[in-house]
């Protein structure tokens, strides 16, 4: 067995989900005994068999990745319940194991996976999906790039066919629920329930959390960063659609047309709305010059 084969064999084995008793599986996916697999590339020692030595790595891998995912999605864990969250995490990580040098990227596919497998989120699946999208947007926003913003004078000099770019750290979300306040309150609750050592107390979020009443209502949200802090800002549909069009690379006039498509805002008020948007966007530093290397 050469080094590359050895590395792949061990990685595949270590990433296999544990049993319900948090032990290593007795059989490999191809039907081989896991004891035979372990003995193929791990030597026993005076205290542990090859299987037992490999099992240590198998357990530690899952403890680490499950813990990392729970740290990034505490509100999702509260919404679906601790046990359900662990089950969906195992299923998600089995489908999308860690492939990056950093655990920061571990949950990058979780919102899309949850949308495709709603049954893992239980009866709150639509709310859970919104919460997962907000929490992943926070990760993206926190360490997203920051480009030189345009001033109002810069924007005033643009023509109708000009293209603009948005700050890379700005995330735009179309949600089923107004779930931003819920995520904020659940994050605050999770922080309060941490012990003195900074670890969550036993039993926290194990059951479905008692949530405030929250009704289905289409909500458009911007998640952005300022002074190393993350903020949420709700948007009207027209403002959201205009920003989304700018991000897609449409021209200024095309973006505004897209923003007001099917809008009930009276025509006389639209110019005023647009002036307010651009004043706010410039103040928040959301707009950047198009990047000629990326097409935006």
Domain shared by 96 and 187, yes or no? yes
**For residue 82, is it within any domain?**
yes
Q: How many structural domains does the chain have?
A: 2
Domain shared by 83 and 208, yes or no? yes
Rounded to the nearest 10 degrees, the angle between the axes of helix 252-259 and helix 237-247 is 150
Domain shared by 117 and 202, yes or no? yes
Q: What pLDDT shows up at residue 196?
A: 44
Residue among 84, 70, 65 at smallest CA distance from 209 = 84
Q: What pLDDT shows up at residue 213?
A: 87
pTM above 0.95, yes or no: no
**For residue 204, is it within any domain?**
yes
Domain shared by 62 and 190, yes or no? no
**For residue 107, is it within any domain?**
yes
Domain shared by 100 and 184, yes or no? yes
Q: In whole angstroms, give the CA distance from residue 265 to residue 292.
A: 34
Last residue of a domain, one of 70, 98, 114: 70
Per-residue pLDDT tens for 61-113? 999 999 999 999 999 999 999 999 999 999 999 999 999 999 999 999 999 99
DSSP character at residue 15 = T
**For residue 64, is it within any domain?**
yes
- Of 109 and 200, the structure prediction assigns the larger pLDDT to 109
**For residue 224, is it within any domain?**
no
Last residue of a domain, one of 41, 70, 99: 70
**For residue 245, is it within any domain?**
no
Domain shared by 40 and 132, yes or no? no
Residue-range definition of the domain harbouring residue 52: 1-70
Cβ–Cβ < 8 Å for 54, 28: no
Residue among 221, 233, 220, 186 at smallest CA distance from 205 = 186
**For residue 151, is it within any domain?**
no
Domain shared by 60 and 78, yes or no? no
Per-residue pLDDT tens for 141-185? 999 999 999 999 999 999 999 999 999 999 999 999 999 999 999
Domain shared by 103 and 86, yes or no? yes
């Amino acid at each position: 067995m050469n080094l590359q084969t050895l590395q792949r064999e061990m990685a595949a084995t270590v990433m296999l989900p544990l049993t319900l008793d948090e032990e290593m599986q007795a059989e490999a996916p191809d039907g081989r005994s896991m004891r035979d697999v372990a003995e193929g590339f791990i030597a026993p020692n005076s205290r542990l068999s090859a299987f037992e030595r490999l099992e240590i790595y198998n357990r530690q891998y899952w403890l680490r990745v499950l813990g990392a995912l729970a740290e990034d999605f505490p509100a999702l864990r509260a919404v679906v319940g601790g046990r359900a969250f662990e089950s969906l995490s195992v299923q998600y990580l089995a489908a999308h194991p860690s492939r990056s040098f950093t655990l920061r990227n571990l949950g990058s596919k979780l919102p899309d996976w949850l949308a495709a497998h709603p049954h893992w989120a239980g009866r709150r699946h639509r709310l859970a999906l919104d919460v997962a999208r907000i929490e992943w947007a926070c990760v993206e926003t926190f360490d997203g790039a920051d480009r030189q913003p345009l001033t109002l004078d810069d924007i005033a000099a643009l023509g109708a066919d000009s293209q603009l770019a948005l700050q890379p750290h700005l995330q735009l979300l179309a949600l089923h629920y107004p779930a931003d306040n819920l995520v904020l309150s659940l994050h605050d609750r999770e922080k309060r329930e941490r012990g003195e050592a900074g670890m969550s107390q036993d039993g926290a979020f194990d059951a479905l959390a008692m949530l405030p009443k929250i009704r289905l209502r289409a909500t458009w949200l911007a998640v952005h960063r300022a002074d190393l802090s993350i903020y949420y800002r709700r948007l009207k549909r027209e403002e959201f659609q205009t920003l989304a069009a700018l991000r897609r690379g449409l021209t200024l006039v095309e973006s505004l047309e897209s923003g007001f498509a099917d809008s009930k805002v009276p025509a006389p008020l639209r110019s005023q709305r647009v002036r307010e948007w651009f004043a706010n966007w410039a103040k928040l530093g959301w707009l950047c010059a198009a990047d000629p290397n990326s097409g935006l």
